[in-house]
Structure 1
Amino acid sequence: MNQKWFYPALILSTIASAAAKFLGGGQSLQFALACLSLLFWAGLLGKATENVAHYAGERLGGLLNATFGNAAELIIAIFLVKEGLFDMVKASITGSIIGNLLLVLGLSLFVGGLKFKIQNFNPLLAGHNASLMMLAVIALVVPAVFLRDHKTVSPSEVETVSIIIASVLIIGYFLWLCFSLITHKKELGESIDGAPNTQHEEPDYSKGMSILLLVVSTVFVAIQSEWLVHTVEHVAKSLGWSELFVGAFLIAIIGNAAEHSAAIFLAMKNRIGAAVEIAIGSSLQIALFVAPALVFISLLFNNPMDLIFTPYELTAIGVSAIIASSISRDGSTNWYEGTLLLIVYIILGTVFFVV
């Protein structure tokens, strides 16, 4: 991160966004400036998380990076839930999952593969991640298939089933953390790369400063997310874009900025295992924790959200999980496999835009 230009740009974009918000700028201008400021704060969030990960260790660091990298998506989604924009919430969840599996992972494999011919990572961990991705697909497909016909299923029954599935997914996610970080930590290996990490790069910030930047950037991500949500409907209508496309691609790309930067930089340092853990781990966290958590959060606003996704969204998640699992299971990768993921992302983006 080039600090000579990054921090002045972050401060100026934040001031400009605040000025547009409070001095009566048009909604399109507010949206554009909020997006720009959010990108910078998400980038700082990713960098601060990467530094915290240095002190916490590689496995726990990967989890922290995915968790705080998803802070932007979760905060945006909470404000969308509060506004009752459930279609956009589900589209943003879809976009976060496919964005991490295809765009973030694809760019990481491509950029890392250009510098290193073959990159290896822990195949056992990759296999477990692939199985969890299939679980996420099953959890989203089953209620959509069985409960899509609301003529035979009452809204209260849909709500009950959604709450039960959300509860099971959250329990499953925390059991996975227990399995991978505690009970089977030694079996999965300390390193998430194919070989032990011998690099000893000095972090940019001290432990205290890293934690402080993590908290501050999370707060500003929340502020900019709220401003973004208040203008997104107006911008979507004025541009003629569907809520599906705006949620699945525009909001998801902005929210994934932290993972973009951290995973790509790690891949360029031949730490492809850490990059894969961030990209796939982030998708799993969205599917198994964030989406179910939003079901319970919606209850706080007395406006329950279900887990019934559209066939378009389920197809996108399903094909993304299949190709990502296929590529990652063997524990080695190259630039061409990254290209394949990016091609699938472009295909999905094209059809989502048309729909």
Structure 2
Amino acid sequence: MNQRLFFLLVGGSFLLAAISHYFLQNEFIRFATAALAIIFLAAWLGKSTESVAHYAGDRIGGFLNATFGNAAELIIAFFLVKEGLFDMVKASITGAIIGNMLLVLGLSVLLGGLKYKEQTFNGVLAGHNASLMTLALVALFIPAVFMKELPVERVDTLSIVIAVILIVAYVLWLIFSMVTHKEFLSDIEPHDSEAVWSKGVSILMLILSTFFVAVVSEWLVHSVEIVTHTLGWSEMFVGAFVIAIIGNAAEHSAALLLAMKNRIGAAVEIAIGSSLQIALFVAPTLVLLSLLFGSTMNIVFSPFELAAIGVATFITISISRDGTTNWFEGVLLLAVYLILGTAFYFV
């Protein structure tokens, strides 16, 4: 598909979603047109990420995709926090974490493995990712364990302290992985594929595509809530799976495209890196932002959410720690995701 036709499809789908959102009252039509627009916009973001990664390397390219992809979630969650909808925020955070580790990584490993018998990425990076995922899991479990022994104000204070520690740890991880020890965490093999655009245009395309994904994602979230309630789905299922899948559409597209081009390192960085960024930066940031509105959002997650995050972390570490992947490991990740999705549906 040539670029002119591609951008005509992107622009046309966005225009159709905008018309439906502002001028039509049928929520199912709004949902369908917004979902169609997300598909094309996510493909645009995927091409932008791949082009940026050509110049900056898979690590930085994946980090940029995770960051820009999570920007939409952070913006939407900010307004939910402002409205005091803390349970919905926590459910969407849970869904984003397990969605990236199980759905995005699972599909990437499966499709990449069907094309290439075995794919490899930096094993040292896999080890550090495992340690960071364990840190995030510990940070989420501790408040839930101590909640019954502490008054509400102490739980809020504990949440704030943990939030600050996690943000500091994440910033130090970025310094470690991209400055002081970047040579140990670089790509195993260089990639010779040509970039779609120049460096400046690639960055501009990444920013623009992320902006439009954020806009349409917000439209889609508003429609999907009404549609799913009409269908009788629970708020926990909607927050943890429906909204999370929609919010991560950009990462899905970029990771899959890269994995199918034998660039599993970048796909892993997008999937696991995005989960880590949500757990270590986005969630703690929302806790601190809630202070601006006079009511602290604690970091205490429900037993269902903690179980889901714990299971996702365990299977992801088990599969990714050796730095190699194959299609069957993708099947295992997707199987766990389907099990969790079914359990949340029946809660």
**What amino acid is aligned across from residue 46 of structure 1 in structure 2?**
G
Q: Give 1:196's aligned amino acid.
A: E
Is structure 2 residue 239 aligned with structure 1 residue 243?
Answer: no
CA distance in 1, matches of 2:42, 2:89: 19
1:182 corresponds to? 179
Note if 1:213 corresponds to 2:205: yes
Cα deviation, 1:81-132, whole Å, max 9, x if unaligned, reads 2333222211111111111111111111111111221222211110111111
In the alignment, is the contact (CA less than 8 A) between 2:124 and 2:185 conserved in 1?
no
* Equivalent residue, structure 1, for 2:260: 268
Once the two structures are superposed, residues 203-239 of structure 1 have per-residue CA deviations (whole angstroms, 9 ceiling, x without a partner) of 1122222222222223223322333344444333211
1:239-271 Cα distance to aligned partner (Å, 9 max, x none): 111111111111111121222122222222222
**Are 2:255 and 2:266, in contact at CA under 8 Å, matched by a contact in 1?**
yes
User: Secondary structure of the equivalent of 2:296?
Assistant: coil
RMSD across aligned positions (CA): 2.0
Matches within 5 A, 1:46-195: 46-147=46-147, 149=148, 153-186=150-183, 188-191=184-187, 195=188
Could you tell me whether the CA contact under 8 Å between 2:50 and 2:258 is conserved in 1?
no
SS of residue paired to 1:70: helix
How far off is 1:170 after superposition? 0.5
Q: Which runs of 5+ in 1 are unaligned?
A: none
How far does residue 153 in structure 1 lie from its aligned partner after superposition?
A: 3.6
Deviations, residues 54-95 of structure 1 (Å, cap 9, x unaligned): 222232222112212222322232232233322221111111
User: How many residue pairs were aligned?
Assistant: 347
Q: How many Å apart are 1:3 and its aligned residue?
A: 4.1
Q: Which amino acid aligns with 1:293?
A: T
Moved more, 82-91 or 226-235: 226-235
- Aligned-partner SS, 1:240: coil
Contact 1:53 1:65 in 2 (8 A): no
Q: Report deviation, 1:333.
A: 1.7
Q: Distance in 1 between matches of 2:345 and 2:3?
A: 36
CA distance in 1, matches of 2:108, 2:155: 39
The alpha-carbon deviation at position 5 of structure 1 amounts to: 5.3
State yes or no: 1:259 paired with 2:251.
yes
CA distance 1:347–1:173, shift in 2 (3 Å) = same
Please report how far the alpha carbon of residue 4 of structure 1 lies from its aligned counterpart in structure 2 after TM superposition: 5.9
Greater than 6 Å deviation, 4+ residue runs: none
What displacement does 1:293 show?
A: 1.0
Match of 2:345 in 1: 353
Look up the equivalent residue of 2:186 and give its one-letter code. E
The answer to whether the 8 A contact 2:122-2:186 is kept is: no
Shift of 1:335: 0.9
Q: Flag structure 2 segments of 5+ consecutive residues without an equivalent.
A: none
TM-score where L is the length of structure 2: 0.93
Query: 1:109 touches 1:335 (CA, 8 Å); kept in 2?
Result: yes
